[in-house]
Structure 1
């Protein structure tokens, strides 16, 4: 039976969220203010307005890269306050900012030198590229252009997640080249001891957070828990569940609704990693992920041998009951997005006033349906299975139809997980139904897409 617990008070979470927002705002204000102060203290450039603009754009570029490193570090404070979906969105837009600054910074510098020397722009560019620090910077720019070109929507759709993730590892090369370039060309950072301490202290903080969050903590946790595959269960023709055991899992701070980045050493290459949500609430003894065979990693899960080693990075995500503001809950799942929803349905903090909507194309696509029905029966929840193609009269998530299905929807917390098109349609209907935004929680799998 499911043990029912009272919802956690939201005062502590709201305080934590406010602190996180204040920390982000203060970091940006102080960082940008310091950049402009360093720009002014460094004095006017020796050449012209183009050189001056190039120097300022270079400062912006370096700071944007620091921000990108901190986003990649996946700081727990930010993850709990904003959720990985929002952070991934910030990561994407910061990436585009890095791209444009990386293009504009050398362009203005080259124009400045060309105008000062009265030389052709191309000749100036070729001359500057013969200097090693400049050449390293130009190589970094080229790699940034490649990464962004393969990240735009039309190119991203043609790449598997594994390929896309591997390409993004080039950012670490860009990072190394950029730091070396700053050491030799960053005159604004070396004006006095204060600017040097601030600038390299900022980089030390960012790189320290990256190494701690993405390397040291995962290594320590995996050494402690020693995760292994306990069983592999086929749920349907292309969906498989992997049961994982280990030591001291009660000390793993995972919650229903969260996900890990999973690696399977010996089965896949070390750089192949996939974000899979937990499909069962953590119980201190085992973990379970359920995935649909789309990429090479997920498709190969059914071939994992029992006893295979597992390397997990996380847990991540704010798609948990810690975000809840009401005692009544609506859970909406679409397709394989049922995995975190199924875990939430098992969470003892959920309570009993629960409605579940499970949207699939056909009954055969409804993986974990038997488990969902059993959990709903134990909890006294109402489960609606909606099948068929969307269109015509079958528009279950139109505002009027959603309200008909859940008359008190505005008084519930709503958790939504599914394909992007379905999730966006539901979020639009919730806005039109005037469901308060603080009661809406969505997992968009942006990290995987």
Structure 2
């Protein structure tokens, strides 16, 4: 009672505020890291298995005996490793969902490229060594032996045709040759890789000693071939057809966004079950006349809903010109979704989103997604900063939408407008600008944020260089390349 009287007329002391909840990465972020490690382990194990099977097949004895023994034995080994790499690279680009989720198109394309070129050169080493080994054993000249191999050994004519198909793929993959081809032409030529792989199988089956040297070897190679072909059929063909039929996408409107840029809005059934997130893209086919067979990769430019999906496209070729003329009601086929530039991949709460030109498309969707994230009670909302790089004001896409997002979600938008000057990096202006200092002034805590980038490749490289100067870890920088 004394205590109560003594406290009369006093303002009760405020209760201490509950501490804010600590932000934690999603469980999916940790799970994907584990899956990536597992895939890498399986890849290395496959090469080890091939080498072990080569040893078990008696090739050491061949290596040590006969005039052509060393060349023949090593030729078999290089051929086996080449075949293993060839199938692994096809698996990498077979659009297997959990593989795509771990690495994304950019990383997958780089791994695919390394495996492809390594497999290609090992294949030529295999051809040369086998020809030398057989010629030494038969005591004939190399040209005669090569001619005999192609004409008289089972499956070799098909293998020769497959080799030519792979040569066409490799030639068009050389960095200097790639920019000279339209995306559609490059993609069509790359389909020859499936032809090359398929034509090599009879040769390996009929004349490849190590393919049938033991039950273990037969089981391994048939399993790898079967898994590869099955993955291509299921994920490249059946899955897109089933998804397209299930969701039945059609164009509802096409509208202009800026000079040479337009958006396509699509409707359909159960679109919230597509699994499509902000920051991702699909390969789209619009069934509106000639050219519909060529898929084109476009990112979503708004958070997908149960009723609509929006993509934004720049007119840069025949395909995009045709798309700009697409009429409402046009049916749409799609593959995907693809891409790892999603909000749930981040390990930090606050984000910095940087986009240039039409590269602002996935950035716009991510800003909406992260800015409107549901957070637990007492948790701090994510801070979202958007840097939009454009040549002039008329080319700054979604200006009105960003303004609305800023009012509704509290995101901060920083426009960088103007042409690049000499030695000015990725910032506009006629004078030299030190990127790291300029970015630090604009976003003082940039080094503590998760970063998402999208824009022309040279521009992205400049931004990455700036981020490295600020000591931003590569693991928190997300970009996406539309390849393959």
Is the Cα–Cα contact under 8 Å of residues 93 and 108 in structure 2 kept in the other structure? no
Aligned pairs (5 A) from 1:247-396 = 247-347=269-369, 348-349=372-373, 351-392=381-422, 394-395=424-425, 396=427
Is the Cα–Cα contact under 8 Å of residues 265 and 311 in structure 1 kept in the other structure? yes
**Which secondary structure state, in structure 1, belongs to the residue aligned with residue 255 of structure 2?**
strand
C-alpha distance in 1, partners of 2:26/2:323? 41
**Counterpart among 169, 177, 188 of residue 155 in structure 1:** 177
Q: CA deviation at 1:310?
A: 0.4
Unaligned ranges ≥5, structure 1: 1-5
**Which secondary structure state, in structure 2, belongs to the residue aligned with residue 150 of structure 1?**
helix
Is the Cα–Cα contact under 8 Å of residues 367 and 411 in structure 2 kept in the other structure? no
1:274-321 Cα offsets, whole Å, 9 max, x none, are 111111111111111111112321221111111111001000011000
1:234-279 Cα offsets, whole Å, 9 max, x none, are 2233212111111111211111000000112343435411111111
C-alpha distance in 1, partners of 2:382/2:47? 49
1:216-238 Cα offsets, whole Å, 9 max, x none, are 21111111111111111122332
RMSD across aligned C-alpha pairs, in angstroms?
2.0
Is the Cα–Cα contact under 8 Å of residues 136 and 177 in structure 1 kept in the other structure? yes
C-alpha distance in 1, partners of 2:270/2:22? 26
C-alpha distance in 2, partners of 1:352/1:37? 52
1:115-143 Cα offsets, whole Å, 9 max, x none, are 22222212221121113511211221111
TM-score normalized with structure 2 length:
0.87
Q: CA deviation at 1:67?
A: 0.6
**Which secondary structure state, in structure 1, belongs to the residue aligned with residue 180 of structure 2?**
coil
C-alpha distance in 2, partners of 1:142/1:349? 52
C-alpha distance in 1, partners of 2:202/2:47? 22
Matched, 1:243 2:253: no
C-alpha distance in 1, partners of 2:290/2:258? 23
**Counterpart among 213, 232, 235 of residue 191 in structure 1:** 213
C-alpha distance in 2, partners of 1:366/1:300? 24
**Which secondary structure state, in structure 2, belongs to the residue aligned with residue 154 of structure 1?**
coil
Q: CA deviation at 1:9?
A: 4.2
C-alpha distance in 2, partners of 1:341/1:11? 20
Which of the two has higher C-alpha Rg? 2
C-alpha distance in 2, partners of 1:58/1:423? 39
Matched, 1:91 2:112: yes
Q: Which residue in 2 is equivalent to 1:441?
A: 478
Is the Cα–Cα contact under 8 Å of residues 39 and 56 in structure 1 kept in the other structure? yes
Unaligned ranges ≥5, structure 2: 1-20, 375-380, 428-433
Is the Cα–Cα contact under 8 Å of residues 162 and 295 in structure 1 kept in the other structure? no
C-alpha distance in 1, partners of 2:348/2:135? 63
**Counterpart among 403, 408, 414 of residue 445 in structure 2:** 408
**Which secondary structure state, in structure 1, belongs to the residue aligned with residue 331 of structure 2?**
coil
1:197-230 Cα offsets, whole Å, 9 max, x none, are 1211122122222222111211111111111111
**Which secondary structure state, in structure 1, belongs to the residue aligned with residue 134 of structure 2?**
helix
**Which secondary structure state, in structure 1, belongs to the residue aligned with residue 479 of structure 2?**
strand
TM-score normalized with structure 1 length:
0.93
C-alpha distance in 2, partners of 1:391/1:244? 39
Q: CA deviation at 1:98?
A: 2.3
C-alpha distance in 2, partners of 1:306/1:25? 45
Matched, 1:36 2:51: yes
1:380–1:447 CA distance, 2 compared to 1 (3 A): same
C-alpha distance in 2, partners of 1:352/1:127? 69
**Which secondary structure state, in structure 2, belongs to the residue aligned with residue 137 of structure 1?**
helix
